[in-house]
Structure 1
């Protein structure tokens, strides 16, 4: 019997697989996973740059370049201190969101909702133990 790989291995492996899969899914739109995270955040509500940086800090400390890319693409705009989606950005978001939803469903395929929720809660508690 072989020893199972530790938690850290599976966390890194899964993150790499998600990054790769989402990267392929988003590449058709000239987006990265960070662009998607910014777009997903501002699609929910206009958000300040400071709040975007804070919300996405676990992934990347500063997402100004991604915001600037979305603005150059016409998918986002600055409205005072807030970053918001444009009409074009909303349409792009809706299209990309459907593809991301399909990928997320693929990730959890065959895992009952209660098992998924238990796993997420367990990971949250492990993080809290280290914080």
Structure 2
């Protein structure tokens, strides 16, 4: 624990990317994120790099059409959702729900402190919601 938070954030993100790609096998983490977002909100607007490429690959597979899941996409989403659930369990071994929520809250506030696009100052009350959703 002798390294700063930036080290651990980047290290964890790299590990998540690599391990999730292995867990999902034929689908990448970014493709899953797009697929899952489409399943939840019928949109795939996301603030990540590689989203456009993931959308294109999902469309080529016939899983997305005009930004919405196809029947094949819904079936793929359900199958991948199960894999992601198992992956999340592994990632969160030894981490209590309270620790997870607290960690996400702290990272959210740290991000808000540096996000110049934000209107409300960090720590100004309940201006953020924390969902208990893992990587």
Same fold (TM over 0.5): yes
Alignment of 1:46-125 (within 5 A): 46-47=42-43, 52-53=44-45, 56-57=46-47, 59-60=48-49, 63-78=51-66, 83-125=67-109
DSSP-derived class of the 1:43 partner:
helix
Structure 1 runs (4+) deviating above 2 angstroms are 62-65
**Would you say how many aligned residue pairs link Structure 1 and Structure 2?**
115
Q: 1:112 offset after TM fit, Å?
A: 1.1
TM-score by length of 1: 0.81
Task: Judging by fraction of residues, say which structure has more helix.
Answer: 1
Of Structure 1 and Structure 2, the greater strand share is in 1
Three-state SS of the structure 2 residue aligned to 1:110 is coil
CA distance in 2, matches of 1:91, 1:117: 30
Task: Work out the CA distance in 1 between the residues paired with 2:34 and 2:103.
Answer: 25
Q: Secondary structure at the match of 1:40?
A: helix
What is the CA RMSD across the aligned residues, in angstroms?
1.5
TM-score, normalised with respect to structure 2: 0.79
| Stretches of structure 2 lacking an aligned partner (at least 5 in a row) | 116-135
- State the Cα deviation string for residues 75-111 of structure 1 (Å, max 9, x = none): 1111xxxx11111111110110111111111111111
